[in-house]
Structure 1
Amino acid sequence: GGEGGLPFRPGMSGVHTHMTNTRNTPVEALELAYPLRIEEYRLIRKSGGPGHHPGGDGIRRSIRFLGERGVASILTERRARAPKGLQGGHDGRTGRNTLRRHGRSRILPAKATLELRRDDLLVIETPGGGGWGPPRPRGA
């Protein structure tokens, strides 16, 4: 997701995903290891909290399951409570997990184990980081 803003710089976007000891698991590694296709992978613009040093933006991943049946575990944070801004900075946006199956969407909890079927789409949106310090007035 997005890193929180710091006293000396804005937060970085799309980092701290805590997956495989890398900043971000490469799409190719996931697609080679599992029966899935990454259909969308992008920053969620303006998901970081405003501040003198704004929080970094989170990531949106849309993952299509290609196997007949499978199981996925989701272990995420900051779905109910936003990442807090500090020293007058504003909160970042919460994350969200969504399962789309047969044209219907279902919001998933932060932690879940779910059965997947062919063509299910799992959308994972990571939170934006909180901002640091009061936002600057426009034009300042």
Structure 2
Amino acid sequence: AQALPGEIPAASQGTMNNLAMGESGEGGARPWDYYETMAGGMGGHRHGDGLAAVHSHMTNTLNTPIESLEEHYPLRVRRYALRRGSGGEGAHRGGDGIERELEFLAPASFTLLTERRRHRPWGLEGGGPGAAGENRLNGEALPPKFTGHARPGDRLLLASPGGGGYGLTENEQKNREIGKLS
């Protein structure tokens, strides 16, 4: 951004929000495994707002439809929605992340490999940061990188980061101008 002012967007979610889970099949249980990367917000830029609920800076990744997930795995999708307001403020807002909450219907192991849970995606040219992501099991916060075990009925929530905002809003620009006059 310093080398090419105005050409670089604010920070995007900065993570693939990796979730791997499954069960080995011990004790007669049906073995299964599943891996997904989850979308988040892109940073705003000088030409417009950042995109919401997209995979940023990576390719060949699709969204797994809820119906397929529930049909083929012992999981129930309890929530899958935009994480409204998670994009950073600015003349051009950062894109919003998503919230995806899964309920386990059978015992499973899971691993999270996520980023931007402590450090928020930064804004540029006066834009605000996007919201940091969150990982929760039954409402309890989990670290960005974690391996755990779930029982039937447990709920795992991944809330992906929003993108950073770009530029000052009109009110911020006016306030700066007023400050210069006083």
TM-score scaled to structure 2, two decimals? 0.68
1:97-136 equivalent positions in 2, closer than 5 A: 97-100=135-138, 105-136=139-170
Q: Distance in 2 between matches of 1:35 and 1:20?
A: 26
Aligned pair partner of 2:119 in 81, 98, 101? 81
Q: Distance in 2 between matches of 1:33 and 1:90?
A: 41
Deviation, 1:19, is 9.2
- 1 or 2 for the larger relative contact order (CA 8 Å, sep ≥6)? 1
- State, as a whole percentage, how many aligned pairs show the same letter: 45
Question: Contact 2:55–2:61 (CA<8 Å) still a contact in 1?
Answer: no
Distance 1:26 1:113, change over 3 A: same
Q: What code does the residue aligned with 1:97 have?
A: N
Q: What code does the residue aligned with 1:85 have?
A: G
Aligned pair partner of 2:132 in 94, 99, 107? 94
Deviation, 1:20, is 6.7
Higher Rg of the two aligned structures: 2
Gaps of 5+ in 2: 1-39, 175-182
Aligned pair partner of 2:61 in 21, 36, 40? 21
Give the secondary-structure state (helix, strand or coil) at the position aligned to 1:77. coil
Moved segments of 4+, more than 4 Å: 17-20
TM-score scaled to structure 1, two decimals? 0.87
